[in-house]
Amino acid sequence: MLHMTNSQDFSYFVHKLQARTQTLRSEIRDTLLRAGNEQYARLAGEVHDAEEESLADLLVDVNLAEITRDVQEVRDIEAALDRISTGKFGVCVTCEEPIARARLEVYPTAKRCLACQQQHDQARAAKAPPSL
């Protein structure tokens, strides 16, 4: 288990999270530049073939999904950095028990211990509408 009493632990995770943020911001910028260069939206308006239009729409959707995923991860990192600044990093938001260091090494934005996260995921899955 991780007990965040050591300032080196905080520094290590701050550095790890900030490095990931820089990578994500670069990926977001690259995706936006690529989308601007490829001009999928313009292509979708010019094509007259249903297959070409579907491909253009798919490419726009893929770029948007990539950006949405990366932005959400940046938000998760910001929340983790906030928990570090308030001394709540490494503590489960549900049961208030320490989160295993191994979990934080792999998933430094984790806000729940593994058991609570599994319960949270099961609860969300039970509420989700059935997929077609």
- Tens digit of each residue's pLDDT, the chain (132 residues): 444 546 678 899 999 999 999 999 999 888 888 766 655 445 555 555 555 556 566 666 777 888 889 999 999 999 999 999 999 999 999 999 999 999 999 999 999 999 999 999 999 999 877 766
Is residue 74 in some structural domain?
yes
Both tokens of residue 62? 């893929």
Task: Report the number of distinct structural domains present in the chain.
Answer: 1
Burial class (CB in 10 A: 0-12, 13-18, 19+), 80: buried
**CATH number of the domain within which 66 lies:** 1.20.120.910
Is residue 1 in some structural domain?
no
Is residue 2 in some structural domain?
no
Q: Domain span at residue 83?
A: 7-127
Per-residue b or e along 38-75, where b marks 16 or more CB atoms closer than 10 Å to that residue's CB: eebeebbeeeeeeeeeeebeebbeebeebbeebeebbe
Is residue 68 in some structural domain?
yes
